[in-house]
Amino acid sequence: MMSRFSTLSLDKVSRSFGRHAALRELELEIRGGEFVALLGPSGCGKSTALNCLAGLLPLTGGAIRLDDERIDRIAPERRGFGMVFQSYALFPHLTVRGNVAFGLKMAKVPKADIARRADRALEMVQLTEHAHKRPGQLSGGQQQRVAIARAIVLEPRLVLMDEPLSNLDASLRLEMRTEIRRLHQSLGLTTVYVTHDQEEALSLADRLVVLRDGIMQQVGTPEEVYGRPANRYVAGFMGYRNMLDVTVASATGDRLSLRFADAQLTGLDRDALAAGGRGVAAIRPEDLDVAGENAGGRIPACIEVVEYHGRELAVQARLSDGQQVHFRTGGRLAPGDRVDLAAAPERVLVFAPEGERPPEPVEDVPRQKAVTS
Ligand code: ATP
Protein backbone atom coordinates (compact mmCIF):
# COMPACT_ATOMS: atom_id res chain seq x y z
CA MET A 1 0.00 0.00 0.00
CA MET A 2 1.19 3.50 -0.79
CA SER A 3 1.72 5.72 2.21
CA ARG A 4 -1.24 7.79 3.34
CA PHE A 5 -0.88 11.55 3.48
CA SER A 6 -2.24 14.32 5.61
CA THR A 7 -2.64 17.07 2.99
CA LEU A 8 -2.91 17.25 -0.77
CA SER A 9 -2.24 20.87 -1.77
CA LEU A 10 -3.09 22.49 -5.05
CA ASP A 11 -1.09 25.68 -5.31
CA LYS A 12 -2.27 28.01 -8.10
CA VAL A 13 -2.84 25.01 -10.35
CA SER A 14 -3.44 26.23 -13.90
CA ARG A 15 -3.96 24.56 -17.24
CA SER A 16 -4.39 26.32 -20.55
CA PHE A 17 -5.08 24.94 -23.99
CA GLY A 18 -3.47 27.43 -26.34
CA ARG A 19 -4.95 30.76 -25.29
CA HIS A 20 -7.88 29.17 -23.50
CA ALA A 21 -7.46 28.95 -19.73
CA ALA A 22 -9.38 25.81 -18.73
CA LEU A 23 -8.25 26.07 -15.10
CA ARG A 24 -7.03 29.25 -13.45
CA GLU A 25 -4.92 29.28 -10.31
CA LEU A 26 -6.88 26.70 -8.37
CA GLU A 27 -6.01 26.88 -4.67
CA LEU A 28 -7.21 23.97 -2.60
CA GLU A 29 -6.11 21.87 0.34
CA ILE A 30 -7.57 18.40 0.65
CA ARG A 31 -7.12 16.54 3.90
CA GLY A 32 -6.33 12.84 4.00
CA GLY A 33 -9.57 10.84 4.18
CA GLU A 34 -11.69 13.68 2.84
CA PHE A 35 -14.29 13.32 0.07
CA VAL A 36 -14.20 16.41 -2.15
CA ALA A 37 -16.54 17.02 -5.08
CA LEU A 38 -15.60 19.28 -7.98
CA LEU A 39 -18.87 20.68 -9.21
CA GLY A 40 -19.90 22.80 -12.17
CA PRO A 41 -21.52 22.72 -15.60
CA SER A 42 -19.97 21.26 -18.73
CA GLY A 43 -16.80 23.10 -19.66
CA CYS A 44 -16.11 24.65 -16.23
CA GLY A 45 -12.79 22.83 -15.96
CA LYS A 46 -13.56 20.04 -13.51
CA SER A 47 -12.22 17.19 -15.68
CA THR A 48 -9.16 19.29 -16.42
CA ALA A 49 -8.56 19.64 -12.67
CA LEU A 50 -8.96 15.89 -12.15
CA ASN A 51 -6.67 15.03 -15.05
CA CYS A 52 -4.05 17.41 -13.67
CA LEU A 53 -4.26 15.58 -10.34
CA ALA A 54 -4.03 12.22 -12.09
CA GLY A 55 -1.01 13.32 -14.11
CA LEU A 56 -2.79 12.78 -17.43
CA LEU A 57 -2.46 16.51 -18.18
CA PRO A 58 0.69 18.49 -17.41
CA LEU A 59 0.11 21.78 -15.58
CA THR A 60 0.84 25.03 -17.34
CA GLY A 61 1.27 26.74 -13.98
CA GLY A 62 1.32 26.06 -10.26
CA ALA A 63 2.21 23.00 -8.24
CA ILE A 64 0.61 19.96 -6.59
CA ARG A 65 2.03 18.59 -3.35
CA LEU A 66 1.31 15.55 -1.22
CA ASP A 67 2.49 16.72 2.17
CA ASP A 68 5.98 17.96 1.30
CA GLU A 69 6.44 15.96 -1.87
CA ARG A 70 5.91 17.77 -5.14
CA ILE A 71 4.05 15.34 -7.40
CA ASP A 72 2.96 17.28 -10.48
CA ARG A 73 5.92 16.12 -12.53
CA ILE A 74 5.62 12.46 -11.52
CA ALA A 75 4.25 10.03 -14.13
CA PRO A 76 0.58 9.05 -13.58
CA GLU A 77 1.34 5.39 -12.83
CA ARG A 78 3.86 6.38 -10.18
CA ARG A 79 1.45 8.60 -8.24
CA GLY A 80 -0.35 5.64 -6.72
CA PHE A 81 -3.82 7.00 -7.44
CA GLY A 82 -6.92 4.99 -8.37
CA MET A 83 -9.14 6.24 -11.18
CA VAL A 84 -12.78 5.57 -11.98
CA PHE A 85 -14.11 7.03 -15.21
CA GLN A 86 -17.49 7.56 -16.76
CA SER A 87 -16.71 4.81 -19.25
CA TYR A 88 -15.82 1.79 -17.19
CA ALA A 89 -12.80 0.81 -19.32
CA LEU A 90 -12.88 -2.83 -18.20
CA PHE A 91 -10.98 -5.58 -20.01
CA PRO A 92 -13.71 -7.46 -21.90
CA HIS A 93 -11.77 -10.72 -22.17
CA LEU A 94 -11.03 -10.97 -18.45
CA THR A 95 -13.51 -12.13 -15.82
CA VAL A 96 -14.75 -9.76 -13.16
CA ARG A 97 -12.20 -11.21 -10.73
CA GLY A 98 -9.50 -11.00 -13.42
CA ASN A 99 -10.26 -7.31 -13.96
CA VAL A 100 -10.04 -6.59 -10.25
CA ALA A 101 -6.88 -8.66 -9.81
CA PHE A 102 -5.10 -7.16 -12.82
CA GLY A 103 -3.57 -4.17 -11.04
CA LEU A 104 -2.41 -6.35 -8.16
CA LYS A 105 -0.62 -8.65 -10.64
CA MET A 106 1.02 -5.66 -12.28
CA ALA A 107 2.11 -4.49 -8.84
CA LYS A 108 3.65 -7.97 -8.31
CA VAL A 109 1.61 -8.66 -5.20
CA PRO A 110 2.11 -12.31 -4.04
CA LYS A 111 -0.44 -14.71 -5.54
CA ALA A 112 -2.14 -15.67 -2.29
CA ASP A 113 -2.62 -12.01 -1.41
CA ILE A 114 -4.03 -11.24 -4.86
CA ALA A 115 -6.83 -13.77 -4.43
CA ARG A 116 -7.62 -12.60 -0.93
CA ARG A 117 -7.61 -8.91 -1.78
CA ALA A 118 -9.58 -9.32 -5.02
CA ASP A 119 -12.23 -11.35 -3.22
CA ARG A 120 -12.46 -8.80 -0.45
CA ALA A 121 -12.88 -5.94 -2.95
CA LEU A 122 -15.58 -7.88 -4.81
CA GLU A 123 -17.35 -8.49 -1.53
CA MET A 124 -17.26 -4.77 -0.75
CA VAL A 125 -19.00 -3.86 -3.99
CA GLN A 126 -21.31 -6.87 -3.62
CA LEU A 127 -20.21 -8.71 -6.73
CA THR A 128 -18.95 -11.96 -5.22
CA GLU A 129 -21.50 -14.07 -7.05
CA HIS A 130 -20.58 -12.48 -10.39
CA ALA A 131 -16.82 -12.95 -10.00
CA HIS A 132 -16.54 -15.53 -12.79
CA LYS A 133 -18.56 -13.54 -15.37
CA ARG A 134 -17.18 -11.30 -18.08
CA PRO A 135 -18.01 -7.57 -18.11
CA GLY A 136 -20.31 -8.02 -21.13
CA GLN A 137 -22.58 -10.22 -19.02
CA LEU A 138 -23.12 -7.51 -16.41
CA SER A 139 -25.47 -4.53 -16.15
CA GLY A 140 -24.09 -0.99 -16.32
CA GLY A 141 -24.25 -0.59 -12.55
CA GLN A 142 -22.46 -3.88 -11.99
CA GLN A 143 -19.75 -2.90 -14.48
CA GLN A 144 -19.30 0.39 -12.67
CA ARG A 145 -18.90 -1.54 -9.43
CA VAL A 146 -16.17 -3.65 -11.04
CA ALA A 147 -14.42 -0.41 -12.02
CA ILE A 148 -14.70 0.82 -8.44
CA ALA A 149 -13.45 -2.51 -7.02
CA ARG A 150 -10.51 -2.36 -9.43
CA ALA A 151 -9.63 1.13 -8.17
CA ILE A 152 -9.98 0.42 -4.44
CA VAL A 153 -8.30 -3.00 -4.43
CA LEU A 154 -4.93 -1.28 -4.74
CA GLU A 155 -5.75 0.79 -1.66
CA PRO A 156 -4.62 3.93 -3.45
CA ARG A 157 -3.69 7.00 -1.48
CA LEU A 158 -6.12 9.01 -3.60
CA VAL A 159 -9.17 7.91 -5.59
CA LEU A 160 -10.18 10.11 -8.53
CA MET A 161 -13.66 9.69 -9.98
CA ASP A 162 -14.90 11.46 -13.11
CA GLU A 163 -18.71 11.39 -13.39
CA PRO A 164 -18.75 7.67 -12.57
CA LEU A 165 -22.53 7.47 -12.39
CA SER A 166 -23.54 9.46 -15.44
CA ASN A 167 -24.17 6.44 -17.67
CA LEU A 168 -26.53 4.80 -15.21
CA ASP A 169 -30.29 5.17 -15.05
CA ALA A 170 -31.82 7.25 -12.26
CA SER A 171 -32.55 4.51 -9.72
CA LEU A 172 -29.22 2.78 -10.21
CA ARG A 173 -27.51 6.13 -9.84
CA LEU A 174 -29.09 6.58 -6.42
CA GLU A 175 -28.12 3.07 -5.38
CA MET A 176 -24.51 3.49 -6.51
CA ARG A 177 -24.31 6.87 -4.83
CA THR A 178 -25.09 5.24 -1.50
CA GLU A 179 -22.61 2.49 -2.33
CA ILE A 180 -19.80 4.99 -3.01
CA ARG A 181 -20.54 6.86 0.21
CA ARG A 182 -20.58 3.58 2.18
CA LEU A 183 -17.26 2.48 0.68
CA HIS A 184 -15.75 5.86 1.43
CA GLN A 185 -16.90 5.69 5.03
CA SER A 186 -15.63 2.18 5.57
CA LEU A 187 -12.27 2.57 3.78
CA GLY A 188 -11.53 6.22 4.49
CA LEU A 189 -9.81 6.65 1.11
CA THR A 190 -9.29 10.25 0.09
CA THR A 191 -11.56 10.87 -2.87
CA VAL A 192 -11.88 13.63 -5.46
CA TYR A 193 -15.11 13.27 -7.36
CA VAL A 194 -16.13 15.22 -10.45
CA THR A 195 -19.81 15.81 -11.19
CA HIS A 196 -22.17 18.33 -12.76
CA ASP A 197 -25.00 17.06 -10.54
CA GLN A 198 -25.44 19.28 -7.47
CA GLU A 199 -27.53 16.69 -5.66
CA GLU A 200 -24.86 14.06 -6.14
CA ALA A 201 -22.17 16.44 -4.91
CA LEU A 202 -24.22 17.53 -1.88
CA SER A 203 -25.07 14.00 -0.83
CA LEU A 204 -21.60 12.49 -1.29
CA ALA A 205 -18.99 15.05 -0.43
CA ASP A 206 -17.52 16.39 2.79
CA ARG A 207 -16.65 19.53 0.84
CA LEU A 208 -17.71 20.97 -2.49
CA VAL A 209 -15.62 23.03 -4.87
CA VAL A 210 -17.76 24.98 -7.33
CA LEU A 211 -16.03 25.96 -10.57
CA ARG A 212 -16.98 28.36 -13.33
CA ASP A 213 -14.91 28.99 -16.44
CA GLY A 214 -11.89 27.47 -14.72
CA ILE A 215 -12.20 29.72 -11.68
CA MET A 216 -13.14 28.51 -8.21
CA GLN A 217 -16.30 30.22 -7.02
CA GLN A 218 -16.77 28.67 -3.61
CA VAL A 219 -15.45 25.90 -1.45
CA GLY A 220 -17.32 24.68 1.59
CA THR A 221 -19.31 21.95 3.25
CA PRO A 222 -22.61 20.95 1.62
CA GLU A 223 -24.44 22.97 4.29
CA GLU A 224 -22.37 26.08 3.57
CA VAL A 225 -22.65 25.93 -0.20
CA TYR A 226 -26.33 25.02 -0.17
CA GLY A 227 -27.31 27.45 2.57
CA ARG A 228 -24.98 30.35 1.81
CA PRO A 229 -24.01 30.32 -1.85
CA ALA A 230 -21.18 32.81 -2.36
CA ASN A 231 -22.58 34.44 -5.45
CA ARG A 232 -25.36 34.42 -7.98
CA TYR A 233 -23.76 31.75 -10.09
CA VAL A 234 -23.38 29.31 -7.20
CA ALA A 235 -26.93 30.11 -6.08
CA GLY A 236 -28.22 29.27 -9.55
CA PHE A 237 -26.40 25.98 -9.37
CA MET A 238 -27.77 25.24 -5.89
CA GLY A 239 -31.42 25.33 -6.91
CA TYR A 240 -32.19 29.06 -6.74
CA ARG A 241 -34.10 28.84 -9.98
CA ASN A 242 -35.87 32.18 -9.64
CA MET A 243 -33.53 35.09 -10.33
CA LEU A 244 -35.74 38.17 -10.23
CA ASP A 245 -34.59 41.62 -11.32
CA VAL A 246 -35.43 43.96 -8.47
CA THR A 247 -34.83 47.49 -7.23
CA VAL A 248 -33.60 48.04 -3.68
CA ALA A 249 -36.05 50.45 -2.04
CA SER A 250 -34.29 50.61 1.30
CA ALA A 251 -31.61 48.85 3.28
CA THR A 252 -31.61 48.19 7.03
CA GLY A 253 -28.56 46.21 8.09
CA ASP A 254 -28.50 43.15 5.86
CA ARG A 255 -32.25 43.33 5.21
CA LEU A 256 -33.27 44.84 1.90
CA SER A 257 -36.72 46.00 1.02
CA LEU A 258 -37.30 45.18 -2.65
CA ARG A 259 -39.64 46.59 -5.28
CA PHE A 260 -40.55 45.02 -8.62
CA ALA A 261 -43.69 44.17 -10.58
CA ASP A 262 -46.17 45.63 -8.04
CA ALA A 263 -44.54 43.41 -5.48
CA GLN A 264 -43.11 43.92 -2.02
CA LEU A 265 -40.51 41.59 -0.71
CA THR A 266 -37.78 41.58 1.91
CA GLY A 267 -34.49 39.78 1.27
CA LEU A 268 -31.00 39.24 2.65
CA ASP A 269 -28.25 41.41 1.22
CA ARG A 270 -25.36 39.27 -0.09
CA ASP A 271 -23.42 41.90 -2.04
CA ALA A 272 -23.50 45.15 0.03
CA LEU A 273 -26.19 46.72 -2.14
CA ALA A 274 -27.37 50.28 -1.59
CA ALA A 275 -30.87 51.77 -1.64
CA GLY A 276 -31.88 52.88 -5.11
CA GLY A 277 -29.68 50.31 -6.86
CA ARG A 278 -30.61 47.25 -8.83
CA GLY A 279 -30.25 43.68 -7.61
CA VAL A 280 -31.16 40.10 -8.35
CA ALA A 281 -33.33 38.25 -5.85
CA ALA A 282 -32.57 34.53 -5.84
CA ILE A 283 -35.37 32.31 -4.53
CA ARG A 284 -35.83 28.53 -4.65
CA PRO A 285 -39.17 27.36 -6.07
CA GLU A 286 -39.90 25.49 -2.84
CA ASP A 287 -39.44 28.68 -0.79
CA LEU A 288 -42.14 30.66 -2.61
CA ASP A 289 -45.52 30.14 -0.99
CA VAL A 290 -48.97 31.17 -1.97
CA ALA A 291 -49.54 34.09 0.43
CA GLY A 292 -51.62 33.49 3.47
CA GLU A 293 -49.29 30.60 4.31
CA ASN A 294 -46.43 33.03 4.89
CA ALA A 295 -46.13 36.66 5.93
CA GLY A 296 -43.02 37.65 3.93
CA GLY A 297 -44.17 40.18 1.35
CA ARG A 298 -46.56 39.97 -1.54
CA ILE A 299 -45.81 39.15 -5.17
CA PRO A 300 -48.86 39.20 -7.45
CA ALA A 301 -48.59 36.56 -10.18
CA CYS A 302 -50.70 35.00 -12.89
CA ILE A 303 -50.51 31.22 -13.31
CA GLU A 304 -49.39 30.00 -16.74
CA VAL A 305 -48.38 26.34 -16.52
CA VAL A 306 -49.21 23.73 -13.89
CA GLU A 307 -47.40 20.39 -13.74
CA TYR A 308 -48.58 17.54 -11.55
CA HIS A 309 -45.72 16.19 -9.40
CA GLY A 310 -47.53 13.80 -7.07
CA ARG A 311 -47.86 15.49 -3.68
CA GLU A 312 -47.21 18.89 -5.18
CA LEU A 313 -47.80 21.00 -8.24
CA ALA A 314 -44.85 22.65 -9.99
CA VAL A 315 -46.18 25.97 -11.19
CA GLN A 316 -44.90 28.56 -13.63
CA ALA A 317 -46.40 32.03 -13.28
CA ARG A 318 -45.81 35.50 -14.70
CA LEU A 319 -45.41 38.80 -12.88
CA SER A 320 -46.91 42.08 -14.06
CA ASP A 321 -43.51 43.18 -15.44
CA GLY A 322 -43.22 40.04 -17.55
CA GLN A 323 -40.76 38.13 -15.35
CA GLN A 324 -41.40 34.44 -14.86
CA VAL A 325 -41.44 32.69 -11.50
CA HIS A 326 -41.47 29.03 -10.57
CA PHE A 327 -42.92 27.72 -7.35
CA ARG A 328 -44.40 24.63 -5.76
CA THR A 329 -47.69 24.26 -4.00
CA GLY A 330 -49.79 21.60 -2.37
CA GLY A 331 -52.94 23.56 -3.25
CA ARG A 332 -55.01 23.47 -6.43
CA LEU A 333 -54.25 26.01 -9.12
CA ALA A 334 -55.08 26.31 -12.80
CA PRO A 335 -53.72 28.42 -15.65
CA GLY A 336 -55.24 31.92 -15.52
CA ASP A 337 -55.59 31.96 -11.72
CA ARG A 338 -54.15 34.96 -9.91
CA VAL A 339 -52.25 34.48 -6.67
CA ASP A 340 -50.08 36.45 -4.29
CA LEU A 341 -46.76 34.78 -3.61
CA ALA A 342 -44.51 35.32 -0.61
CA ALA A 343 -41.20 34.12 0.77
CA ALA A 344 -39.50 34.31 4.16
CA PRO A 345 -36.83 37.08 4.07
CA GLU A 346 -34.00 34.68 4.97
CA ARG A 347 -34.93 32.59 1.92
CA VAL A 348 -34.47 35.50 -0.46
CA LEU A 349 -30.80 36.19 -1.30
CA VAL A 350 -30.14 39.47 -3.06
CA PHE A 351 -27.04 39.67 -5.26
CA ALA A 352 -25.57 42.37 -7.47
CA PRO A 353 -26.65 42.04 -11.10
CA GLU A 354 -24.24 39.99 -13.22
CA GLY A 355 -21.25 41.98 -14.43
CA GLU A 356 -21.62 44.77 -11.88
CA ARG A 357 -19.48 43.11 -9.25
CA PRO A 358 -16.98 40.26 -9.24
CA PRO A 359 -17.95 37.04 -7.47
CA GLU A 360 -17.66 37.42 -3.72
CA PRO A 361 -14.61 35.80 -2.15
CA VAL A 362 -15.46 33.04 0.26
CA GLU A 363 -14.54 33.26 3.90
CA ASP A 364 -16.27 30.17 5.21
CA VAL A 365 -13.23 27.92 5.28
CA PRO A 366 -9.87 29.17 6.49
CA ARG A 367 -6.93 28.67 4.12
CA GLN A 368 -9.18 28.27 1.09
CA LYS A 369 -9.79 31.27 -1.06
CA ALA A 370 -11.81 31.92 -4.15
CA VAL A 371 -9.69 33.17 -7.01
CA THR A 372 -11.32 36.02 -8.81
CA SER A 373 -8.72 37.10 -11.30
P1 ATP B 1 -17.46 18.22 -19.06
O2 ATP B 1 -18.34 17.88 -17.91
O3 ATP B 1 -18.20 18.56 -20.31
O4 ATP B 1 -16.32 17.25 -19.28
P5 ATP B 1 -15.64 19.92 -17.65
O6 ATP B 1 -16.14 20.86 -16.63
O7 ATP B 1 -15.03 18.68 -17.16
O8 ATP B 1 -16.79 19.61 -18.68
P9 ATP B 1 -13.19 20.34 -19.04
O10 ATP B 1 -13.27 19.06 -19.80
O11 ATP B 1 -12.26 20.40 -17.91
O12 ATP B 1 -14.63 20.74 -18.53
O13 ATP B 1 -12.88 21.50 -20.06
C14 ATP B 1 -12.67 22.84 -19.66
C15 ATP B 1 -12.43 23.70 -20.87
O16 ATP B 1 -11.21 23.34 -21.50
C17 ATP B 1 -13.49 23.58 -21.94
O18 ATP B 1 -13.74 24.85 -22.46
C19 ATP B 1 -12.87 22.66 -22.96
O20 ATP B 1 -13.35 22.94 -24.25
C21 ATP B 1 -11.40 22.98 -22.85
N22 ATP B 1 -10.57 21.79 -23.14
C23 ATP B 1 -10.56 20.64 -22.45
N24 ATP B 1 -9.68 19.76 -22.97
C25 ATP B 1 -9.12 20.37 -24.05
C26 ATP B 1 -8.13 20.00 -25.04
N27 ATP B 1 -7.53 18.80 -24.98
N28 ATP B 1 -7.83 20.88 -25.99
C29 ATP B 1 -8.42 22.10 -26.02
N30 ATP B 1 -9.35 22.52 -25.14
C31 ATP B 1 -9.70 21.68 -24.16
pTM: 0.85
pLDDT of residue 61: 96
Going from the first residue of the chain to its last (373 residues), give the mean pLDDT of each consecutive group of 10, the final group possibly shorter. Answer: 79 96 96 96 94 94 95 90 84 93 89 92 90 92 90 90 86 85 88 94 96 96 95 92 96 94 94 93 94 73 94 95 95 93 94 69 41 41
CATH of domain 7-227: 3.40.50.300
pLDDT of residue 358: 47
CATH of domain 240-359: 2.40.50.140
CATH 3.40.50.300 occupies which residues in the chain?
7-227
pLDDT of residue 155: 85
Q: Which mutation among 15, 46, 210 tests ligand 1's pocket best, with the greatest number of atoms within 8 A of CB?
A: 46
Task: Characterize 52-80 residue by residue with b for buried, 16 or more Cβ atoms within 10 angstroms of its Cβ, and e for exposed.
Answer: bbbbebebeebebbbeeeebbeeeeeebb
Q: Which of 227, 210, 183, 86 is nearest to 144 (CA)?
A: 86
pLDDT of residue 293: 52
Q: Is 157 left (phi over 0), alpha (psi -120 to 50) or beta?
A: alpha
Q: What are phi and psi of 297, to 5 degrees?
A: 85, -170
14 lines ligand 1 (CB under 6 A): no
pLDDT of residue 370: 43
Q: Which mutation among 44, 86, 209, 210 tests ligand 1's pocket best, with the greatest number of atoms within 8 A of CB?
A: 44
Bridge partners of 350, per DSSP, are: 269, 281
pLDDT of residue 152: 87
CATH 2.40.50.140 occupies which residues in the chain?
240-359
CA distance 347 to 286: 10
pLDDT of residue 356: 64
Burial of 291 (0-12, 13-18, 19+ CB in 10 A): middle
47 lines ligand 1 (CB under 6 A): yes
pLDDT of residue 186: 86
pLDDT of residue 78: 87
229 lines ligand 1 (CB under 6 A): no
pLDDT of residue 122: 92
CA distance 276 to 196: 37
CA distance 282 to 284: 7
Q: How many helices and strands (H and E) does the chain possess?
A: 8, 20
